[in-house]
Chain A
Amino acid sequence: MININNLSFGYSKKKDLFTNLNLEVQSGRICGLLGKNGAGKTSLLRLITGLLFPDEGEVVVLGQTIRERDPDIAKEIFYVQEEYELPSMRISLYKKLYAPFYENFDEVKFYDLLSSFEVDKTAKTNQLSYGQRKKVQIAFALSTGVRLLILDEPTNGLDIPSKAQFRKVLISSIGEDQSVVISSHQVRDLTNLLDQIVIVDEGNVVLNEDIFDISSALSFKQVQGAGIPEQALYHEMVPGGHFVVLPNDTDEQSQIDLEALFNATVTNGRKLKSIFEQHKTKRNAKV
């Protein structure tokens, strides 16, 4: 679905944002793109959508170099931006103007999703709150039926019930042949949503792993008391003890804590990488 090969990109010639970045996202997956503020998440999404051009390397989406901006590929991609003002008009007119660009657009689904999000379908976009406008965008994006959906901080501006609603709607709306790339710094919003996690830091992909591999290779748990296990990749104080990320020596899988995973990756990236390599070697040996 997405192949990024040796991508280098920077806004200034002196400093690259990405250097020789490689990434692959397979079809039918929900991929979470995590990174610190300024790590380049939005820039990477814009490179994937062909809104920015790489200085070196190439970005191939749906089998074609995205830089060419082929409209037949563009109609299979929908990009929900973090900050986007919907044109001031009735929602029905917005649908009338933009739906024809996407041949698989499902009008019934669009209005159903608006109802799920409790947005008045007869309202004008300028009468809606920021969060409601975001919901209109998300509902529209999910109704386009595109093969690649790119969501940049989709939960920004959503209230707590809406975040849960968003997760529910996303999981139920995505078809098997569709892929989603979600960027977020509010990692808890993406819990139980992702199939794949990509973490970018200092211009490169420092983690690109399947959720199954992460939960098999790492153990996320709380330990009582003041003692922190020696092999802990990351730890943070919680009431009554510490929450730690450890290499998983057992066959048991634990619930992934995205925030802890992110912090473990950023602080202990190399060690984490070698753990995943060992885990994959073990798994392959078993097979």
Chain B
Amino acid sequence: MLKFDTTRVRALFTREFYLGYLPAIKAASIIILAVFVINLIARIADPQNGGNDEESGTLLKFGIILMIGGLLYASWAFKEFRKVSTRAAFLALPGSSFEKTFVKWLFTNPIFILTISLLILVASLIFTPLIHKFGGDAYMNEIFLSEHYWRIVGIYFIVHSIFFFGSIAFNRVAGIQTIVFLILLGIVSAILCAIFFRIVWADMFSGLFTFAPQEGNFRFGDGSREPEDMWQVQFFIFAFKYLLAPALWAASIFKLSEKQV
């Protein structure tokens, strides 16, 4: 399951490049081009609109395209699972679960981020001077050095891991099934939290879910501390930020090794 052989990885890499990456990047390039062309047309139509906020404008385009495109791509990562025959062919391909997951991860995560960044950079290098010719603003493009860029990448890492795992767990329409699963998980969590809240802070309720009138300010948390100061909450935030993605990537390897036709 965890074997790693460079020859096999190279073969998996080449296969994935042609069958997964090229079609995805063709689609992403068309979308990026369309976004910048629409932006240009909008500027020509109304030169005063758009202001001087080029950095955040490009970042916004980058963020939206990375998130929507990336999540679609991550959900599509194991597209072989959609049909029994292609699923069987992929599972029968010589390669460990680690190698197969690693190559898919490479393309849908770092390579995709890099490609989208490059495409946005090239598009903004071409289109921004044109846009500003009509808008009359100075050209600027420092998005790849900005803190926001890395924040977007960080968020992508987390959501990617969820949709990437979903694409192994669900055979068909993995993206939609993952979203439905997340909604259900959210509802169940909310219900459990409500029950927990009702039991722990029973004094605050007069009826089943009716708040009892309180005197003064009532603060939730351990003693007088705010919830965000509690170590449990801090650990939860830390786990969500730094542990969830690697854990789900690792789980993807195990899930793949248990996958059957």
Binding site for B on A (CB under 8 A): 46, 49-53, 68-72, 74-75, 77-79, 81, 83-85, 87, 89, 93, 96-98, 100-103
Contact = CB atoms under 8 A, between A and B. Distances in A.
A78 B93 CA distance: 9
Say whether chain B's binding surface is mostly helix, strand, loop, or mixed.
Answer: helix
A23 B83 CA distance: 29
A71 B19 contact: no
A100 B7 contact: yes
Interface string B1-39: 101010110110011001100000000000000000000
Interface residues of B, number: 27
Contact of A52 (B7, B85, B261): B261
Tell me which of A71, A83, A102 has the highest count of chain B C-beta atoms within 10 A of its own C-beta: A71
Contacts of B86: 84-85
B95 A101 contact: yes
Contact of A83 (B3, B15, B85): B85
B96 A101 contact: no
Contacts, number: 73
B15 A71 contact: no
A81 B18 contact: no
Contacts of A72: 3, 94
Nearest to B87: A51
Can you list the 8 inter-chain pairs with the closest CB atoms, starting with the nearest? A75-B94, A100-B11, A74-B94, A51-B261, A84-B85, A97-B15, A71-B94, A101-B94
Contacts of B260: 51-53
A79 B88 contact: yes
Contact of A74 (B18, B19, B93, B257): B93
B88 A97 contact: no
A79 B92 contact: yes
B228 to A, nearest CB: 45
11 contacts: A51-B260, A51-B261, A69-B91, A69-B96, A69-B97, A71-B8, A71-B96, A85-B85, A97-B15, A100-B11, A101-B94
A78 to B, nearest CB: 8
A49 B261 CA distance: 11
B92 A87 contact: no
A89 B14 CA distance: 14
Given A52-B261, A71-B95, A101 B8 contact: yes
A103 B92 CA distance: 16
Contacts of B18: 89, 93, 97
